[in-house]
Structure 1
Amino acid sequence: MYSQTRVYFPYVSPFDPCPPIRVKTYQVPPQLFMGFQPENLPQYPPMEALRRGVLWPALFSPYNPAPDRGEWGDYDER
């Protein structure tokens, strides 16, 4: 299966006054890897599907918040 996480390296200016973020990541949705939805895909049981927000495991994409961000994202109260 394909990885849903993509990595890119933004341009870092030598004149930027802020410390640079050299590596950034983002998630792509799993339906991009499927042309048409195949027949007879396995399904989660109803309660598990409600917890995960999707009926088919092939279309599940977990939410992984960035570990270095606090409750307010990039906002830092200093």
Structure 2
Amino acid sequence: MDSQTRVYFPYVSPHDPCPPIRVKSYYVPPQLFIGFQPENLPQFSPMEALMHGTLWPALYSPYVPTGQRERRGEGHHER
């Protein structure tokens, strides 16, 4: 898993009629970890910036569909 993914284990009630979801995950956006814009921050080329949606690689966060995130988390963090 990458550093932007967080995993948690919700409470599973023994009386819940639905199948439990034992592992859930979510993404933390990279801009939360950069207070002020540092000097000389590396930049994508203009074409790469258009493809990634940002000029700075430090702020790039790839999209991973929710179902794939949860499946990735289950194998690594079983209770």
C-alpha separation between the residues in 2 aligned to 1:64 and 1:42?
24
Structure with more helix by fraction: 2
Output the CA distance in 1 between the equivalents of 2:49 and 2:3.
Answer: 22
TM-score of the aligned structures, taking structure 2 as reference length: 0.79
Corresponding position of 1:37: 37
Pick the structure with greater CA Rg.
1
Gap runs ≥5 in structure 2 = 70-79
State yes or no: 1:20 paired with 2:20.
Answer: yes
Taking only aligned residues, the RMSD between alpha carbons, in angstroms, comes to 1.9
Give, in whole Å, the separation in 1 of the partners of 2:40 and 2:58.
12
Unaligned runs of 5+ in 1: 69-78
- Quick one: higher RCO (CA 8 Å, sep 6+), 1 or 2? 2
Kindly report structure 1 stretches of 4+ aligned residues shifted beyond 6 Å. Answer: none
Q: How many residues align?
A: 68
